[in-house]
Structure 1
Amino acid sequence: MTAWPPVPLRRTTVVTTMFELTRYDGRHRVRGSLYLSIGLSLLAAMVIWVYPSFEAEVDLEQLLAAYPEPILQVMGVQTMASLGGFLSFELYTFGWIILLGLYLAYATAGTIADDVDRRRMDVLLAMPISRRRLVGERFAAMAVPIVGANVLPPIVVYVGARLIDHPLAATDVLAVHLLSIPYLFACAGIGLLASVVFDRAAIAQRVALGVTFALFLSESLLTGTDAEPVGAIAPMRYYDPNAVLLEGSYDLVGAGVLVAMTVALLIAAQLWFRRRDIA
């Protein structure tokens, strides 16, 4: 006989299933994120290690003057006469804005498209989970490589700068990494939107790479021209390592814009995926 009154269902059953996809994807990204953080740390150590030789043997300002103006504009170079300016150019513009931005756009572009491409999406959609939540949880898992990439490098930069007698303020080193997180999420958002628009992972990843790099070039080349407002859609406009390391200026408004941009890209991806047919 059935007991009366019936035993109420426990809410913990629902809570334990929340973010299951995020935890699953996140666990599978931990090892790669660790390798990424170590690789970026080695890059940071190498840049800091070579700086004293450059400073002693090369006239850095004269070297900077030898670069064509378009190159300096694209790379956002202001000075290399200080370690902060050198790191902004050699490490953060190249390593964070370009390489990490492109990598995260590329990696995120496979989060949804890869399952569609490999005919695995039907299995996921058969679970008691909405399409909107599926996209959101998959995107949330990208926090693992984004945060992981910024764990070891700031320690290496701060300690390395002191070892070569060119100390940097700890708050500036921490800020340049913390402010990169909204930027990297925005780049990942570009990849997420490409991932739900295209069925084939390879196409989604190429589109994400192309769009992200095109935005970088447009922001760099349009600065100071009549078309400069067009560059407002580029995430790169709102993350400036030079301002942090050379001026100690933290653009919190820009970080807010990047957060809003990420949210907009996530919502757009969720709406698109909810309405599309899965072949």
Structure 2
Amino acid sequence: MFELTAYDGRRRVRGSVYLSIGLSVLAAMVVWVYPSFEAEIDLNELLAAYPEPILQVMGVQTMTSLAGFLSFELYTFGWIIMLGLYLAYSTAGTIADDVDRGRMDVLLSMPISRRRLVAERFGAMAVPIVGANLFPPLVVYVGAELIDHPIAAADVLAVHLLSIPYLFACAGIGLLASVIVDRAAIAQRVALGVTFALFLSESLLSGTDAEAVGAIAPMRYYDPNAVLLEGTYDLLGAGILVAMTVALLIASQAWFRRRDV
């Protein structure tokens, strides 16, 4: 039981450690640059210079505090966009790559159902998702203390814990693309395109008559601003992301059971 998850997970450990270190370096750079940024630039004037659509797309509320600066520069770019796209892209190769390279017949010859194969392959994505959130919280918290702009430890921990359901939902988009498309490269492009389109739809349609369309976007249910600036933890949103992930997994299993490989 879970042999495929364990095998795939072990293969992803090293890359996940490198990913976590890279994100930690990014977090350290953002924290380190903030004091000079705050001292040399009128942040309110800078924010006013941004076009309103850009502020809306990036979810910028304020940069006059380290928490607001981190929310914009680190978590919107690093987690919502970059990491979300990476997980969708990476997961899109889990099934499609084996089909593309002719290895799927070997896997299906084993005493394992197609549903279990999809679930176990998807389960291995927990390694990069959790791994990416191992070191950065410590870097952010300690860095904020060192530059004398402390952030509550509970808020730092929460913004990372609540990102996990979001990243699983992005991975679920990649999984669905992986079982629908035979070619791994195409599946990965589809996953990237769909995930980014969902990000844009949620950002641009917010506050308009078509706002309801953005309800299908995982980005609606993960808000670093609410956590870091208001200390608000959206547990309902996290629950919706879990349900969204389960729905994507079930849909992927159902599609893969019926397709000819």
Check whether TM > 0.5: yes
- Which residue number in structure 2 is paired with residue 152 of structure 1? 135
Matched, 1:231 2:214: yes
Q: Which residue of 1 aligns with 2:84?
A: 101
Aligned partner of 2:177: which letter? A
Structure 2 counterpart of 1:174, from 157, 162, 170: 157
**Offset of 1:153 from its aligned partner?**
0.1
Q: Secondary structure at the match of 2:150?
A: coil
Residue pairs, 1:1-279, within 5 angstroms:
18-278=1-261
Tell me which amino acid in the other structure corresponds to 1:174.
L
Superposed CA offset, 1:49-70 (max 9, x none): 0000011010011100000000
Output the TM-score relative to the length of structure 1.
Answer: 0.93
Shift of 1:20: 0.1
What SS class does the counterpart of residue 48 from structure 2 fall into? helix
What one-letter code is carried by the residue in structure 2 that aligns with 1:233?
I
Distance 1:233 1:100 in 2: 19
- TM (norm. structure 2) is 1.00
Give the structure with higher Rg (CA): 1
Identity over aligned residues, as a percent? 88
Q: Distance in 2 between matches of 1:47 and 1:128?
A: 49
Counterparts of 1:149 and 1:252 in 2: how far apart (Å)? 21
Q: Structure 1 unaligned runs (5+)?
A: 1-17
Q: Cα deviation per residue 1:220-254 (whole Å; 9 max; x = unaligned)?
A: 00000000000000000000000000000000000
Q: Alignment RMSD, CA only?
A: 0.2
Instruction: Tell me how far apart the structure 2 counterparts of residues 266 and 205 of structure 1 sit (CA, whole Å).
Output: 17
Q: Give the Cα separation in 2 of the matches to 1:52 and 1:274.
A: 55
Task: Give the equivalent residue in structure 2 for 1:3.
Answer: none
CA displacement, residues 187-211 of structure 1 (integer Å, 9 cap, x when unaligned): 0000000000000000100000000
Does the residue aligned with 1:124 lie in a helix, a strand or coil? helix
The 1-side partners of 2:86 and 2:178 are apart by: 14
* Residue segments in structure 2 that go unaligned for 5+ positions in a row: none
What is the DSSP-based 3-state SS (H/G/I as helix, E as strand, rest coil) of the residue aligned with 2:35?
A: helix
Q: Deviation at 1:166? A: 0.2
